[in-house]
């Protein structure tokens, strides 16, 4: 489970990220990020009914993405807020495709720490 301090929860925070953040698209994922001035990075997830009408499918996708972000937290720079939106067509994708797309989008956004 994603730690509480790394979750984007408030509607005000989501609006701020969506309005002012810089966007990156990779396949069926869309990431908006912005600096938050905090000591940790926070992430929120947006999955609309356009992806699937079934809440169980939307929740499964959200759990998978939370797990992937949790694994990547040590390699993500601190001080960013991110809203990860899932686009229609994602319900047909498997876990490996989610991992590959997330890796690519995080690299393109520049929020991964450089490995020495």
Supply the CATH number for residue 19's domain. 3.30.230.10
Is 104 a member of any domain? yes
Is 20 a member of any domain? yes
The residue segments making up the domain with residue 89 are: 4-109
Is 115 a member of any domain? no
β-pairing, 22-26 vs 29-35, is antiparallel
Give the pLDDT score at 114: 72
Is 52 a member of any domain? yes
pTM of the predicted structure, to 2 decimals: 0.91
User: How many CB atoms within 10 Å of residue 37?
Assistant: 8
Q: How many domains does the chain have?
A: 1
Cβ-Cβ contacts under 8 Å for 116 (sequence gap 6 or more) = none
Q: For every one of its 116 residues, what pLDDT tens digit does the chain have, with 9 covering 90 and above?
A: 889 999 999 999 999 999 999 999 999 999 999 999 999 999 999 999 999 999 999 999 999 999 999 999 999 999 999 999 999 989 899 999 999 999 999 999 999 987 65
Q: How far apart are CA 94 and CA 109, in angstroms?
A: 23
**Which residue in this structure is represented by tokens 């686009």?**
87
Is 23 a member of any domain? yes
């Amino acid at each position: 489970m994603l730690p509480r301090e790394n979750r984007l929860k408030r509607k005000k925070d989501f609006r701020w990220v969506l309005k002012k953040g810089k966007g990156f698209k990779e396949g069926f994922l869309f990431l908006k990020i912005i600096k938050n001035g905090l000591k940790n990075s926070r992430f929120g997830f947006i999955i609309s009914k356009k992806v699937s009408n079934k809440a169980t499918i939307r929740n499964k996708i959200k759990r998978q993405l939370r797990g992937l972000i949790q694994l990547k937290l040590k390699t993500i720079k601190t001080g960013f807020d991110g809203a990860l939106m899932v686009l229609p067509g994602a319900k047909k994708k498997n876990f490996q495709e989610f991992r590959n797309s997330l890796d690519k989008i995080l690299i393109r956004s520049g929020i991964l720490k450089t490995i020495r």
